[in-house]
Structure formats: C-alpha cells, structure tokens
C-alpha cells in the first residue's frame, strides 16, 4: 500500500458513499484493480468511512448543532416533568433520526450474515445495481410531494430507515435508497436530501463500530501516518464534492442520470457473470 493507492481508494469511497451508485461494490472493484487484498485494508477502510463522515458534518454543521442542542433541551424538559414537546423542526429531526436508525440497526444486526453472503455473488451485485437504477428513475418521475419536517410522521422515518437497511445489500446505494424512499413518501427535495445525509451519521458510525472487531482480528496493517491522512483527506474532499453534486442533481431534477450509470454497470456485471 502506498499514498497514491490510498488517495484513489479515498476518492472512490468519498464519491460513491454519497452518490447513488453503491460504495461497497465500487470500493471492492477498486481494491481488486489496485491489487490490494481486502484483509490488508480493513483499518484503512474504517478510516475512509471516518473521512466521509466528516464531510457530512462539514456540510450540515449548523443543522447538526441545532439538532444536538434541541435534543438535550427536550431531554431536560422531559426528565423535569415539563412534557415531551416536539415544537420545532430540529427537535423533530433529532427524534426522526433516532426512529429511522432503529430498523437500519435491526436489519444490520440480525440479517448481517445474509447480506454478507451476497458479496460472494457478482450476479446479486449486478441485479442490485439495476434495481437501484429503476428505483432512482421511478422516484424522479413519480415525485410530486412537498412534505416538510413539520408534516413528517414517525412512520415516515421508520420507512426511510428500512430503505437504508436494505442498502446493506451490495449494489444497493445507501444514499440512493434513502432518497428514493423519502421522495416516494412525498418529502420535498430539500428534506429528502438533508434527511438522507443526516441519518447516514448513525449508520456510518454503527457500521464503523462493527468493523472494529474485524480490525482487531487482522490488525491495524502496515500503514504510515501519511498513508492514513492521504486516504482520510481524499475521502473527505471527495465526500464534499459528492454531497454538493447530488444536491445539485436533485434540485435540477436530474437524479435519473445515475439510473443510466447503474443500469450499464449492472448489466455488464450480469452478462459477464452469466458467460462465465
């Protein structure tokens, strides 16, 4: 492993984590092309996820700050007997993020082995990419909703969290699935985008915690501080670019562009698999 490979892996992770094209599949393919054994980069992969997480905090710092402040205010009011009042959008967002994380966490814990088995099937990955494209295309064409945070219900958050849980499947994009779920539920585009990125925080943190066990099993690897920093920084900057780009695509109603990409890549994978 060298700095150039770390930068390439960081860029791929940062872009595909937030663009609706499935990060797990692209990172695995890139590692293969760079001749980097997966068991040798477990720690680096964890750090790359950390880099992309920082980009979410950077873009949505104000929203995250307000959510945290209002959550502690709400908690303080509750334990002092002043009720449980969701009287502003940041309190609601905080509770809805927690609600959406429940089905994601349950699916990740209880169905992890099933989803992990899919990684050994290129056919599953190819078909999942095609399905991702179909969902993106349908969501863009069918979306007419203008639902705001104040109009959200707890089951809206639970459904979006379930969509996020399904993204454990290799080839299903996390950002794509959550945005699709939000748009199909009638969220306005700004809320669909923001909510998708905000609920990625506990999802990525949870996935990182689960990876700690793998890191302890295989070790930290032979990585210098320079290699780790190069990977983290490239993932961070690529994540910033991906978030801003996706926001722009959604605003301009061009989300379906990614459908063509996932259809092409998915079809190629399926055809190659069937011909083997």
pLDDT over 60 at 65, yes or no: yes
Indicate the length of the chain as a whole number: 276
- Judged against a pLDDT cut of 70, whether residue 232 lies above it is answered with yes
Q: What is the 3-state secondary structure (H, E, C) of the chain?
A: CCHHHHHHHHHHHHHHHHCCCCHHHHHHHHHHHCCCCHHHCHHHHHHHHHHHHHHHHHHCHHHHHHHHHHHHHHHHHHHCCCCCCCCCHHHHHHHHHHHHHHHHHHHHHHCHHHHHHHHHCHHHHHHHHHHHHHHHHHHHHHCCCCECHHHCCHHHHHHHHHHHHHCCCCCCCHHHHHHHHHHHCCECHHHHHHHHHHCHHHHHHHHHHHHHHHHHHHCCCCCCHHHHHHHHHHHHHHHHHHHHHHHHHHHCCCCCHHHHHHHHHHHHHHHHHHHC
Mean pLDDT, residues 252-272: 87
In the chain, domain spans: 3-275
pTM of the predicted structure, to 2 decimals = 0.82
Q: Which residue has the higher pLDDT, 9 or 210?
A: 9
| Residue 56 pLDDT grade (very low, low, confident, very high; cuts 50, 70, 90) | very high
pLDDT tens, 214-226?
Answer: 655 555 556 677 8
For 182-200, write each residue's pLDDT tens digit.
Answer: 988 989 888 998 999 999 8
Note the pLDDT tens digit of each residue in 13-49. 889 888 888 777 677 677 777 777 655 566 777 788 8
């Amino acid at each position: 492993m060298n700095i150039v490979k770390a930068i390439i892996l960081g860029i791929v992770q940062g872009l595909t984590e937030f663009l609706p094209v499935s990060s797990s599949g692209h990172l695995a393919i890139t590692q293969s092309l760079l001749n980097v054994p997966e068991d040798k980069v477990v720690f680096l992969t964890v750090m790359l996820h950390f880099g992309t997480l920082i980009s979410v905090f950077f873009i949505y710092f104000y929203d995250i700050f307000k959510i945290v402040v209002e959550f502690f205010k709400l908690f303080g009011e509750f334990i002092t007997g002043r009720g449980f009042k969701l009287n502003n959008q940041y309190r609601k967002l905080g509770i809805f993020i927690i609600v959406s994380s429940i089905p994601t966490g349950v699916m990740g814990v209880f169905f992890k082995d099933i989803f992990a088995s899919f990684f050994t099937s290129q056919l599953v990955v190819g078909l999942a990419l095609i399905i991702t494209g179909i969902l993106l295309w349908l969501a863009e064409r069918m979306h007419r909703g203008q639902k705001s945070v104040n109009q959200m219900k707890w089951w809206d958050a639970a459904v979006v969290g379930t969509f996020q849980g399904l993204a454990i499947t290799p080839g299903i994009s996390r950002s794509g699935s959550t945005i699709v779920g939000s748009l199909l539920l009638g969220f306005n585009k700004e809320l669909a985008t923001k909510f998708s990125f905000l609920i990625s925080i506990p999802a990525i943190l949870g996935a990182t915690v689960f990876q700690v066990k793998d890191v302890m099993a295989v070790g930290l690897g032979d990585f210098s501080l320079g290699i780790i920093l190069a990977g983290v920084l490239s993932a961070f900057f690529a994540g910033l670019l991906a978030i801003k780009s996706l926001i722009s695509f959604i605003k301009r109603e061009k989300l379906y562009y990614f459908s063509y990409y996932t259809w092409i890549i998915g079809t190629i994978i399926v055809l190659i698999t069937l011909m083997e």
